Amino acid sequence: MGNGADTVSPRGGSGRASPRVRSTLLVGDIGRAFVDADSVRRYPCDVAASLLDGVDMAARGDFAVVGVVMDGAAGHLHATLKALRKGTRAHIVLLAQMHEEPIARRLVEEGREGSRLADEYMVCPTFLTRVCDRVASCASGPASSSPDGQAQTPPVGTLAPVDPTQLEQRLRHLEHLATTDDLTELKNRRYILEFARQALERGKASRGRVTLLLFDIDNFKHYNDVYGHLAGDEILRQAGILMRRCCRPHDVVGRIGGDEFAVVFWDDPYRIDGHTGQDRRSADTDHPAGVISVAKRFQKEFGNAELHLLGPDGRGVLTISGGLASFPRDGSTIQELFERADMALLEAKRDGKNRIYLVGEPQSDIANIR
């Protein structure tokens, strides 16, 4: 233990001197990331409770993998990852809660000067073995053996008979199937509900803002009946593509059933790291004013979309109806926001469609808001 860090180190076997196993360093409050955090001493890993200690240990140690718990790191994550990149050659894994996944994905995908700040991310809560097993595929060199040439028993927490890379790919594939709509590749209803719940909890703790947009495609059954289901599927896919293009990277778009979609707009808690230069709109934009501009842009782009399956008259005929509800103004739970936004959507339908209503007294068509 050093500098106040809570450290756990692997032990050698049977009293025989052996080289140090290149292991995993976990940085942050692991109780927020792992289901089996209480069993950490069974695994070949060290733990640094603070980000500062983690950077120091990573620079001094020989770690194959460094896992960084994102929850609780807002305001310091970007600087921490930069320091880790500079001080270690380890494989950096972000340990993200579901509502942090968009930020984690961005940090993995985006790089400055050709260097990514993280190599991959995992959605938490997860199990320690998933991170520790990354050592087998990240560490270089042949498997260790004893002086008599016999292979040593793998450390606790590894899955020697299974290729860790293949295992990780399978797990990611299963996660993808469980949280993704197979037609549009948007998030599904299950994911949206849990993501929105977590974003709302974060908003309550940090006085953040969350706005929910529910919308569906006007006269969608007509397009299905007249042009066929292939055309209907293409309309749904196009709606998802255009909506994601209009949103900020950390907002989440989902298809929650049939032709109904949901968008969760929320404040990016990591924006103060200075990594928002590529955002379409600053997270400083007021809710729902910033959301209104996104919704208006989407209405315009969707209405101008070219859908070849609808024939020569297909351009400019598609419209949507929707409802907007914001926390904390319109509700304090995700159920309340969904109910209020859904009521506004139904009102928009009754009043002639092709409009998005903002929850309030009276209902307001966003087209009339400047």
What domains does the chain contain, in order, with CATH numbers? 24-178 (3.40.50.2300), 186-368 (3.30.70.270)
β-partners of residue 326 are 211
Return the pLDDT at 340. 95
**CA 297/CA 320 separation, integer angstroms:** 12
Is residue 37 within 8 A of residue 24, CB to CB? The reply is: no
H helices of 96-153, where? Answer: 101-109, 128-132, 134-138
- CB count in 10 Å sphere of residue 35: 12
User: What letter represents residue 245's amino acid?
Assistant: R
Q: Which phi and psi (to 5°) does residue 365 adopt?
A: -80, 125
- Token pair for 354: 């092709």
Q: Which helix (H) or strand (E) holds 338?
A: helix 334-350
pLDDT in tens, the chain (370 residues): 334 444 444 433 333 333 444 689 999 999 999 999 999 999 889 999 999 999 999 999 889 999 999 988 888 898 999 999 999 999 999 999 988 998 898 889 875 445 788 999 999 989 998 888 887 767 544 344 444 444 444 444 443 445 556 655 666 666 777 889 999 999 999 999 999 999 999 889 888 899 999 999 999 999 989 889 999 999 999 999 999 999 988 899 999 999 999 999 998 877 644 444 444 444 445 678 889 999 999 999 998 887 877 776 666 689 999 999 999 889 999 999 999 999 999 999 999 999 999 987 556 888 888 7
- In the chain, count H helices and then E strands: 11, 13
Return the pLDDT at 361. 58
**CA 370/CA 339 separation, integer angstroms:** 26
Return the pLDDT at 326. 93
Return the pLDDT at 5. 45
